[in-house]
A and B are shown apart, each in its own frame.
Chain A
Amino acid sequence: MSALFSPRSNGIFRLVIAIVLAGAAGTVGALMVFARIPAGTGQQQQVGQPVQFDHRHHVQDDLIDCRYCHTTVDKAASAGIPPTELCLNCHSQVWNKSPLLDLVRASWFSNRPIEWVRVHRVPDFVYFNHAIHVNKGVGCVECHGRVDLMPAIEQVAPLTMGWCLDCHRDPNPRLRPLEEITSMTWEPEGDRVALGKELAKKYDVKPRTSCYTCHR
């Protein structure tokens, strides 16, 4: 005499159901987590570039202002990637024999642009404008992080829509005086939110959250 199923079958059956349910829930959960962690947003990845350009050196050691190279950051949507010409403003005089700059010189003489690798990318349907942010007191460091400490540029902000919205809904904690806009190390004296409130009034900061602000 034997039953169709052994006594162990009950436990196995329950386990299988538990695994299936947990697997389904886990998959959904994992995807939602993935969308929020650096691996999903592209943060924390040092990106190799054709020329070993070290922002640390240029910003920290040479004290070059961001706007020296990114010339249009306060005038146009695009911050501007410096032309080879601009590199050679200095490097025709200094390090003009360095092998590290071979590619830069080659670009100049062959009239072929250097193809940098893009680090900060928003989708094509997102229209980000540097000028308006920079002119309303949102410093470079707010989105790009401590570029002065980066040997190779990496993305520090998640650049998700939710992240954009957080600031557009409450910009005050991210505002700074325009004089300090490119500063990597500026710290407010006192309450940053209170200062932000003051600056928002001064600069007429009115971020918008309607869709066409960014999507066109």
Chain B
Amino acid sequence: MPSLGLPIYGQKTALETRRWKSLDELEARTAAEPGEFPEGAAETPEGLSRRGFLQVLGASVALAGLQACKPPREKLVPYVRAPAAVTPSVPVAYATAASEEGYAVGLVVQAHEGRPVKIEGNRLHPASLGGSDAIRQALVLELYDPARLRGFTREGRALAWSALLQEIAALGREHDKDGGTRLRFLVAPTSSPTLGDLRRRVLERFPRARFDTWSATGEGAQRAGAAIAFGRPLDATYDVAKADVILSLDSDFLAVEGEHLRHAREFASRREGDRMNRLYVAEPRFSVTGGMADHRLRMRGLEVAAFARAVAAELAGAGLAGLGPLGAHGEGERVKVARAIAKDLAGARGRSLVLAGARQPPAVHALAAAMNEALGNVGTTVHWRAPVLLDPRAGADSLRELAGELAAGKIDTLVVTAWNALHTAPADLELRKAFGKVKNSMVLALREDETVRAASWRLAASHPLESWGDLRSRDGTVSIVQPLITPLYESATEIDLLAAFVGEGDRGAWRLVREGWRARSGAPPAPLPLAGAAAAANPVDTNRPRRPDPYDRTWDEWLAAGVLTESAGKPEQVAADLGAVGDALGKLPVPAGGIELGFAPDYKIWDGRLLENAWLQELPDPVTKLTWENAAHLSPATAKRLGLASGDLVELARGGRAVVAPVLIVPGHADDAVTVALGYGQQVAGPVGKGVGFDGYALRTSDAPWFAGGAELRKTGKRTDLAVTQGHFSMEGRAIALALDHEELGRAKAELDEHRGEAPTILEPVDYSDRTYKWGMAIDLSRCIGCGACTAACQAENNIPVVGKEQVLRSREMHWIRVDRYFEGPAEDPKSVTQPLACVHCEMAPCEYVCPVNATVHSDEGLNEMVYNRCVGTRYCSNNCPYKVRRFNFFDYHGDVAPTLQMLMNPDVTVRARGVMEKCTYCTQRIQRARIDARVGGKKIGPDEVVPACAQACPAEAITFGNLNDPRSRVSRKHGDARRYDLLHELGTRPRTAYLVKLRNPNPELA
């Protein structure tokens, strides 16, 4: 079969058919041998032998004195039967998908000897285009979480899967009697066709049962808005690349909402060159998208609707008369702004885009839809499609109904597969109380949480990387979810569980998915096995010949690509009902006075489901740089008015509910508003999430899911230390992260020349121009959205430890690449620049000449090499590093790691010992792999072949890497760009990482 050209370490790997075939077989075995997974490698995986490293050190303490002091000889453990897909020491990549609010995000997962280690985006998938984000990067850590729920219990009794099936069958027979009247399912939103089939079949068997879909986050408001405007719920997909002018009405579309990875890539593609787009953002809190705005208009969340109407009114004045009835002129300064925006939008008909945020009420979405239609954007920048979600109308209402039934004792069996409903449910539904009244509460979950603990049946869920399944993206493209590893613990997927309710629990998700798609694709049924005594006697023996099945090939192609080609749906023709939109707008409540309380999904732990993920906990929030907790965000002026400082603990109260929260002052936040990230403060948490943050859901009610007036902040007089990784957000007037208006770039050459080019030196710089490779990086600040995907990707690729809140408070975080955020201008309403900063590989590296033991020296290709095993840990290099990008192992961070977490280690990267300095290596392991592969094949490494983890993850393609001696490479072009400058050029360090000035494209009318 043809190579699909998916990149792994810059090497072209043909995803051969047999790779997943062996996984199929593994899956087939799973039922028989639950909990067992194949021996990792033909040789002991490197990660497992890391302890040997410490032993070696110990031995060198003893001066290698005696034979007896040497570590015992290692064992070499080969396979008994070598799987065809695995070559020990060569990683293989598989395409799969993960769910985000029920939609697919295509992934390519790299596995070493059967251990998934690194996740990348799938270039072929519309929701990724090859980019990924921190949450997707961190999924692999979730897989290996030693605190995951294991096995199945009913009222404390451990059950094997087969026993569980019997008990579910018995339960089903009970409910058969009344057609499932007293049976309910509380599920998460999903687009999985297989789950759709199963739900249908469950409802066929139990016609009076019901599936209620609940997600605390998600984009229900958009579908509801479409329902207002077009009479039916529709999903919008945006072609951001085609938009010249974008108005975001509180939509964080670059980092959170919709197909944000694709949005970011398309948006970034319009942030350089002459066709720059222009972004207006109206929002209450400073978001990632807000940081990219050319004009950011801070306003309280409930004021956004009025502002949208003001823009609509001005649009009507600018020739889109149809919007007239929907508009309402604003007041004061906003009029001018709205007029300028409207003029800009109207001047870009068919090339503009209005987005409403998921936190805005449906009416605002309906208005945005109407504006897009009036601007002629439908069909160019906006596409409407029938939703692929199984239950597009789901929302708090169905949960309320369910809560009522539960409270009334009308339900005997509640099957919960939605994540931690007791934690996330609106506080006014009192679901916690009602939940206890159910006789059989059955919860399928990845880890123990509040809902699991309250349940009588506790079922461990398989991780997505252990599961078979299927998902669709917003445009309908189907992805098969395939496992990378057999489940580490006895667990089941949602497919398995629902299948159990229709008596097919023993078929296994693989068959259900595969055979379901055979039917859907119209392939002929599977041929019967060859007749004969041998085949009958040994059905598992896969070496026996089988009849050819043409579907095998189709299926394998789907798996290899990660998408079912041409499975996308067609956009629908729509016509907005402006009257309905107007009515809905008219019913919007008038924003109340006082302080507005806003909620937001967390950039890292989402709705809270990733609370136990230490990588994400330690990842600095993209905007505030806060780690390991959430806080009540306030604007500087509001904090001043209330006499509060960052770190003050306040009692945050609304409508008789209160929590204690630390205050964090965020520049650019709307005044008289407080924003709280959801998901923290969970009552039941594992070792990572225990006691982390406060529970925002406790204040959230179903009538005001995102914004509510009348919040109160009361001082408690106590303080806490907030673990913020960046204490200083001002550049202090220094030229660090440079930003210019697009117009200014031409005039700024002389100014920029001061920050690039040759610097005077008495040392003759080494000439690298005659080397085959001269590695270099370029970071385009104009593209960078500051999301932190690079940080997480680097953490996963390079075995970077997590240090915990205490150590972050001591400024000991270990991230090799950090994303600095600087605010410029007034603290109340600043502009922002984000700057990813890792080792810049100075040619005249200050760190090198101070190292007493030559542990950090220069390679012939100009890499600043950090040799861990030579390092004695003077930390002198860090002192002399002007960029402060070196990280020190203050403790033995890897000393006592759970066995599953050892499986997470990338065997191509040394696990660093205590007392050793470390830093970005430009992913040298990928360079070396590419080099060896190229040289074995007698070739040269291609100009853009080596892609470091950060560049690979970056959804905005802000980071480019390659050979500077090859003029064809992208990085060479970036280094020659007019916007290129060197960070701290005046020090003469000759960094190999060049930065490109961030460009802004402000509206001259608003200057």
Contacts and interface: CB of A to CB of B under 8 A. Distances in A.
Q: Note whether A and B contact each other (Cβ less than 8 A).
A: yes
Interface stretch (B252-260, B468-476, B487-495, B921-929): B921-929
B42 A80 contact: yes
A47 B87 contact: no
Nearest to B46: A124
Given A113-B78, A116-B78, A212-B859, A124 B910 contact: yes
Interface string B838-871: 0000000000000000000111110101011110
A47 B938 CA distance: 38
With a 10 A CB-CB cut-off, give which of A75, A78, A119, A124 has the most chain B CB atoms. Answer: A124
B910 A80 contact: no
B562 to A, nearest CB: 25
A7 interface: no
B64 A85 contact: no
B82 interface: yes
B67 interface: yes
B89 A83 contact: no
Interface string B20-62: 0000000000000000000100110010011011001000000
With a 10 A CB-CB cut-off, give which of A85, A119, A127 has the most chain B CB atoms. Answer: A127
Interface residues of A, number: 49
Contacts of B78: 81-84, 113-114, 116
Interface in A56-78: 72, 74-78
A166 interface: no
A92 to B, nearest CB: 13
A121 interface: yes
B839 to A, nearest CB: 13
B37 to A, nearest CB: 13
Given A72-B89, A210-B859, A124 B80 contact: no
Contacts of A121: 73-74
Given A47-B73, A116-B78, A131 B932 contact: yes
Contact of A39 (B67, B82, B87, B911): B67
Contacts of A111: 80-81
Interface in B70-92: 70, 73-82, 87-90
Nearest to A35: B64
A31 interface: yes
Interface string A93-115: 00000000000000110011111
Contact of A78 (B88, B857, B858, B860): B88
B429 to A, nearest CB: 52
B43 A113 contact: no
A127 B928 contact: yes
B67 A215 contact: no
B909 interface: yes
Nearest to A114: B78
A77 B928 CA distance: 11
Contacts of B79: 83-85, 113
Interface in B354-383: none
B936 interface: yes
Given A123-B53, A216-B909, A216-B925, A131 B936 contact: yes
Contacts of B936: 74-75, 131-132, 135
A111 to B, nearest CB: 5
B860 A210 contact: yes
B932 A129 contact: yes
30 contacts: A31-B65, A42-B70, A72-B90, A76-B87, A78-B42, A78-B89, A80-B87, A81-B42, A83-B42, A84-B78, A113-B39, A113-B79, A117-B74, A117-B76, A119-B73, A123-B869, A124-B53, A124-B910, A125-B910, A131-B932, A135-B935, A204-B938, A210-B857, A210-B859, A210-B863, A211-B865, A211-B870, A215-B865, A215-B868, A216-B921
Given A123-B869, A212-B924, A215-B910, 11 more contacts: A78-B42, A83-B42, A83-B80, A84-B80, A84-B81, A86-B82, A107-B80, A135-B935, A204-B938, A212-B928, A215-B867
